[in-house]
Structure 1
Amino acid sequence: MKNKTEPLLFRPHKGDCELYLPYDRSNRARLKRCIGSRSDLTFDKQRQTWSFKRTHFAEVRDMINKYYRLGTVIVDIVKRGQCDTRCVKARGDECSCECGGDNHGGLRGGDKWVLVGETTLVTNEVKVNRRTYRVGTSRSRE
């Protein structure tokens, strides 16, 4: 999960963020300055990772960007499906909306799609997309 020479920040779709930092005696102090001295910060010795609340994600990402040459950020993004009655009334085989063809041409994909408003269909099914990007002072030179 980690490259021992650079930070790795992970924000899962649920729960606390995790951070791997290359060893430095000042890591705890730097993180506490970043997220606030009263904020929860725990270190998992076995995994060699720090855990902190999701609300501090942006501050920690900005700290990596400021103090490290390169770092990796992984973010889980939750997306709920949305469709439209135009899809339900469509003709033909091609569907380009988020239902993936569940509702296309009146198929109505079971009970998972609910009409809200006059034309919008939504589902409570959650899709998690993972986005990875680089941060740091030298990311533009890669």
Structure 2
Amino acid sequence: MTEPWIRRGYDQTRLWMRMPFGATNRAWLHDELGDRIRPEWNNTVRPGRWEIAKPHLRMLTTALANRFEEVHVYLEFSTTERCDRKCQTASGDDCTCSCRGEHHGGGTYWMDWHLVGEDTLIGPVGRVERHYIVRRGDVGL
């Protein structure tokens, strides 16, 4: 059985999604996301995948987790990471900025950080992809 997954590329206009084959998958997508969505099946890539508008990420993730117990979510972030000086110098565990803990407490001390404004740090990190597993009942993204 194919594990369901969703991928959001920062430079893509649509989400890429895969789930186990079912004759009613298109109808299920419409039931979960609304009749106005236009899911496209892309069979020019192997294996094939569904392509759906990006604004449906949260709703699609929740629906897939509820249907299949869990869904793998891959989120790609742009080439520049933004972080806060408070994050980089933090000593506790709690990280709430866009780096998702990557630079918390000075985690990447070798980076060439540039201070922009009073507190925002910008550093070049290239294309970054984060992998999450969202299970049925999770709060979601």
Report the Cα offset of residue 36 of structure 1: 1.6
* Helix, strand or coil at the partner of 1:39: coil
CA distance in 2, matches of 1:121, 1:136: 33
Partners in 1 of 2:120 and 2:52 — Cα distance?
Answer: 36
Trace 1:44-123 onto structure 2 (pairs within 5 A): 44-47=42-45, 48-78=48-78, 80-82=81-83, 96=106, 100=110, 102=112, 113=114, 115-116=116-117, 119-120=118-119, 122-123=121-122
Contact 1:81 1:125 in 2 (8 A): no
Distance in 2 separating the partners of 1:55 and 1:36: 12
State the match for 1:29 in structure 2: 27
Please tell me whether the aligned partners of residues 112 and 124 of structure 2 are also in contact (alpha carbons under 8 angstroms): no
Q: For residues 41 and 76 of structure 1, what CA distance do their matches in structure 2 show? A: 21
**Alignment match, 2:128:** 129
**One-letter amino acid of the counterpart of residue 129, structure 1:** V
List gaps (5 residues or longer) in structure 1: 85-95, 104-112
* TM-score of the aligned structures, taking structure 1 as reference length: 0.62
> By percentage of residues, which structure has more helix?
1
Distance 1:132 1:54 in 2: 17
Post-superposition offset of 1:54: 0.8
Unaligned stretches of 5+ residues in structure 2: 86-105
CA contact (8 A) 2:112 2:123 kept: no
Question: What are the Cα deviations for residues 25-77 of structure 1, in whole angstroms up to 9, with x where unaligned?
Answer: 11001111222211221111233100011100011100111110333111123
Normalising by structure 2, what TM-score?
0.63
Contact conserved, 1:70 with 1:138, CA < 8 A, in 2? Answer: no
CA contact (8 A) 1:9 1:17 kept: yes
